[in-house]
Amino acid sequence: MFHVLRIFCGNYLRKARVMYRTGYAISRKACAFIVMLLACTVGIAAQAVTLHAVNQTHVLNSGIEIQSNPGVLQIVALRDDLLRITMSATSKLPEDASWAVLPASRIARVSVTPDQDALSVGFHTALLQVRINRQTLGITISDASGHVISQDARPVEYRADDKNGDLGFRVWKVMPDDEHYFGLGDKTGPLDRRGGSYVMWNTDAYRFQEGTDPLYKSIPFFIGFREGKSYGIFLDNTWRTTFDFGKEYRDNYSFGSEGGPLTYYFLYGPQPKAVEMSYAWLTGTTPLPPLWSFGFQQSRYSYETEQRVREVADHLRADRIPSDAIYLDIDYQQKNRPFTVDNTKFPYFSAFVQEMEKKQFHLVLVADLHIADAPNQGYAPFNTGIAGQHFVKNQDGTIYHGIVWPGLSDFPDFTQQKTRKWFGGLYQSLYMDGVSGFWDDMNEPSVFDTPIKTIALDVQDHIDEPGFTQRVTTQREVHNIVGIENARATFDGMLALKLNQRPFVLTRASYAGGQRYGATWTGDNSSSWSHLRMSTPMLESLGLGGFYMAGDDIGGFAGSPSMDLLTAWLEVGAFNPMYRDHTEKYTNDQEPWVGGHIQEAIRRSYINERYRLLPYLYSVAEKASRTGVPIMRPLFLEFPEATADKHPLDLDAGNEFLVGPDLLIAPTPYPDELQPYAVTFPSSDWYDYWTGTRVTDGVPPKSTSLRSVPVSTGAPMGIGALQTISIHPNLQVLPVYVRGGAILPLQPLIQSTAQKPNGPLELRIYPGPDCKGTLYQDDGTTLNYQHGVYFREDFTCSVSASRVQLNISSVSGSYPAWWKQIEVVLYGWNTAGYVAKLNGQIISNGRYDAVHRSLHLLIPQNAAGEVLSIAKQLSSGR
């Protein structure tokens, strides 16, 4: 009944829009029409439909399909731990197509075993049981032992939009008191989403604040975490979607959309890292970015002339501030027109790019998606865009225009393959000139002169994409994917132009799966202490949403930071995946040297440290590009069972975060406050990164809940509580710790990643449980690593009271090492008396550093692998 009403009324509403636009004269026919329209509007607004009975069941090889009149529900197992749930209010299931999910994963299936009893129908896989209640259609998902993981709280509700007839829906799930929620990507606020509600609608959120929502990207994926165990839910719907974690109902969470397919995926952990890996299996990972993009990047809106860029580059080199990239913001262009260069400001552009290359700087150029509407002006992107029918159109067939940086602009129809190909080709001249990366900004898409700050919702787009039926749709459906498809066009275009180069694309807007096309940043933040604080949970959340290559505008975009704030931000940023200093037009200078020598020296020391740590960071990134486990990690991801009641430790641990599995960064949670704060350690063995001394007592914690941690005044807490130490904030020292059991590779300082480090590789051993590390290297720029041209070595160590043994694996891959020797640094060593043997032969070049309790030994790099054993010589008498 409802469906019939919807279709009938939907037609009336559409006709009404056409009549309104075409100025339909009031006539008897029109009067009758208006009466009907009002009736429909009232009728639809009041109508909501739920499906709540199993009318007929079809057992599928890989799941189940249930007719629940007038609709249908289908649940299939893509893997034993991954389900797709899809539902429709009509007998036709939603289109089996996706912008986010990889084609091979979308069609993957495993066989399941059907189950049924008096109350339910369903099936089980090797890892999950699925039950659908015969009376309510409620879905319950349990693990193999019957422990319930997720349960519908009430029937799914469909509701038609009273204005345009789009059919929205909402799904409610039971929300246990002790379940916590992480993810949704680009969001402010606490890392735990419990208690909040969120909107997915890509928005140019200039000067966003702590409560601003929505922001630039839509990543409708979250992790549920309870008692140390996790699952994920990914709602694959590009329309405006919303998520509510207990705001509407205290004991339910829910998600829904204004229209489009009701299709979501359930990803079973139980380890949170397994959920991350499954999400990567579904939506892909960021391909390994070029090594230089992990270096320090300097930007501002705008370095206006080539002379100014030269000055900045030379200043960085003269002050020995290691750096790899400089960004050109919109002012390098003629009249802000993308894909042009203002020859008065950059008269010899290609020579200039080469000059910068010689100085070991990569240039990244902004190239926005809006194309100036500039007929008869020789502006090729406009001319070719018109000729190829590449711009989105109004309902009446005219091209849609909106005002952005270049003035009146047109917007590419990125959901068409041919448009993406055309757009990708626009990079040719700049990319061939030697520009290293492109910055896709304003691609929510942002439009200045409209109340909704974006393209009108009824503007038409063409969907021409494998898996989808070719059709015309509107911005309602594609608004949230303009950014991802813009980045995809850029990435694919760059790859087509230079087949063996890793593209570097920085995008502001995106959708789930957008990580496949490169890096992102958190947009237009502000130069305030609270924005420094906010950046950590934002970057962690982006990482959980697949975007492991993420950063923020260091120092803040809007406004000018105090010198202490800039310093503190450059410290924390040194441990973020992407490290870019950027600021708005007309703000004060914000380069690392600003504010005098003392500040500069502190900042330089952190940038230096970043460069020394690159072997570790790059090895973590390479693994992330294979597994999807992000570089920057909340503590619960590595230590899901750290607390006795197994609540996520991040709820108690301020703004602490992990870089890879081994580094714990503990910035003050309230950076503008001066009193001491507690650093909480997620396990028992941790060392101070700066001094190498052990800061925890190595005794496994036996805490109960951590809600009220006693803070020690210096010495670590031992048995009876999670270990904490109290830190007095000090601008010069960002607390950084290393997991006992880590083996970290570091390199001698370089000024840019184009330089080969000179000297031995440093291998720091921090004895502790699960002792291991890895080192990955390659040429940093090409795709040769995909064909075996890389270097990989794994390390393990075994530790006893009197002996440490380091095992270095043989090298895999054919990329040569730049080092001839390895300096092994063994921390936690308390005696100068030792016997060291390399592959059984005594070596005696060691040096004991009593202050840092570390033993330093030089050994040759040996591709065949080696064993170094170090034993205490108790008779040394010291």
Nearest to 440 by CA among 504, 394, 377: 504
Taking the complex as a whole, how short is the minimal distance between the CB of residue 446 and ligand GLC, in angstroms?
8
Among 266, 301, 422, 431, binds ligand GLC (CB under 6 A): 301
Binding positions for ligand GLC, 700-719, rule CB under 6 A = none
- Site track 542-561 with ligand GLC (rule: CB under 6 A), x = hit: ---------------x----
- Residue in this structure with the two tokens 């760059």, named with its chain if needed: 494
Taking the complex as a whole, how short is the minimal distance between the CB of residue 237 and ligand GLC, in angstroms?
26
- Residue in this structure with the two tokens 């090895």, named with its chain if needed: 619
CA–CA separation, 850 and 830 (whole Å): 7
Can you read off the two tokens belonging to residue 527?
A: 């130069």
Binding positions for ligand GLC, 514-533, rule CB under 6 A = 523-524
Question: Residue of minimal CB distance from ligand GLC?
Answer: 301
Strands 82-88 and 803-808: unpaired
Q: Which of 524, 540, 584, 591 is catalytic?
A: 524
Contact 498, 428 (CB under 8 A): no
CA–CA separation, 373 and 412 (whole Å): 12
Adjacent-strand bridge partners of 30: none
Taking the complex as a whole, how short is the minimal distance between the CB of residue 145 and ligand GLC, in angstroms?
49
Nearest to 655 by CA among 673, 629, 630, 628: 673
Can you read off the two tokens belonging to residue 247?
A: 């705001």
Pick 557 or 795: Cβ nearer ligand GLC: 557
Among 128, 330, 617, 743, binds ligand GLC (CB under 6 A): 330
Taking the complex as a whole, how short is the minimal distance between the CB of residue 791 and ligand GLC, in angstroms?
36
Pick 329 or 662: Cβ nearer ligand GLC: 329
Contact 361, 399 (CB under 8 A): no
The beta strand positions in 246-401, using DSSP E, are 252-257, 262-268, 296-298, 325-328, 362-366, 371-372
Nearest to 488 by CA among 602, 579, 404, 369: 369
Taking the complex as a whole, how short is the minimal distance between the CB of residue 581 and ligand GLC, in angstroms?
12
- Residue in this structure with the two tokens 């009002």, named with its chain if needed: 38
Pick 2 or 521: Cβ nearer ligand GLC: 521
The site for ligand GLC, by CB under 6 A, has a size of 10
CA distances from 653 to 270, 688, 723, 742 (A): 22, 17, 11, 21
Taking the complex as a whole, how short is the minimal distance between the CB of residue 494 and ligand GLC, in angstroms?
20
Distance linking the first and last C-alpha atoms of the chain: 91
Pick 423 or 557: Cβ nearer ligand GLC: 557
Taking the complex as a whole, how short is the minimal distance between the CB of residue 332 and ligand GLC, in angstroms?
10
Contact 270, 143 (CB under 8 A): yes
CA distances from 640 to 230, 241, 365, 536, 543 (A): 9, 29, 41, 19, 17
Buried b (16+ CB within 10 A) or exposed e, 276-285: bbbbbbbbbb
Nearest to 374 by CA among 342, 407, 346: 407
- Site track 256-295 with ligand GLC (rule: CB under 6 A), x = hit: ----------------------------------------
Contact partners, residue 614, CB within 8 Å, separation at least 6? 291, 294, 295, 747, 753
Residue 329 as a binder of ligand GLC (CB under 6 A): the answer is yes
Q: Which of 441, 477, 652, 762 is catalytic?
A: 441
Catalytic annotation present for 177 = no
CA–CA separation, 409 and 399 (whole Å): 10
CA–CA separation, 254 and 697 (whole Å): 44
Alpha helices per DSSP H over 455-596? 475-478, 482-497, 529-544, 563-573
Q: Among positive and negative, which fits the CA dihedral 217, 218, 220, 224?
A: positive
CA–CA separation, 132 and 189 (whole Å): 35
Pick 507 or 723: Cβ nearer ligand GLC: 507
Residue 600 as a binder of ligand GLC (CB under 6 A): the answer is no
Contact partners, residue 841, CB within 8 Å, separation at least 6? none
Taking the complex as a whole, how short is the minimal distance between the CB of residue 188 and ligand GLC, in angstroms?
16
Contact 62, 68 (CB under 8 A): no
Taking the complex as a whole, how short is the minimal distance between the CB of residue 430 and ligand GLC, in angstroms?
16
Q: Which of 81, 179, 368, 444 is catalytic?
A: 444
Taking the complex as a whole, how short is the minimal distance between the CB of residue 559 and ligand GLC, in angstroms?
13
Binding positions for ligand GLC, 570-599, rule CB under 6 A = 582
CA–CA separation, 146 and 84 (whole Å): 20
Catalytic annotation present for 166 = no
Residue 440 as a binder of ligand GLC (CB under 6 A): the answer is no
Measured torsion, CA atoms of residues 266, 272, 274, 280, in degrees rounded to the nearest 10: 70
Taking the complex as a whole, how short is the minimal distance between the CB of residue 811 and ligand GLC, in angstroms?
42
CA distances from 4 to 1, 44, 45, 46, 343 (A): 5, 11, 15, 15, 62
Pick 462 or 582: Cβ nearer ligand GLC: 582
CA–CA separation, 423 and 490 (whole Å): 7
Pick 303 or 575: Cβ nearer ligand GLC: 303
Taking the complex as a whole, how short is the minimal distance between the CB of residue 523 and ligand GLC, in angstroms?
5
Catalytic annotation present for 441 = yes
Among 236, 441, 477, 571, binds ligand GLC (CB under 6 A): 441
Strands 632-633 and 657-659: antiparallel
Binding positions for ligand GLC, 459-518, rule CB under 6 A = 508
Among 223, 356, 366, 717, binds ligand GLC (CB under 6 A): 366
Nearest to 706 by CA among 640, 637, 646: 646
Taking the complex as a whole, how short is the minimal distance between the CB of residue 536 and ligand GLC, in angstroms?
20
What positions carry a catalytic annotation?
A: 441, 444, 524
Binding site for ligand GLC (CB under 6 A): 301, 329-330, 366, 441, 508, 523-524, 557, 582
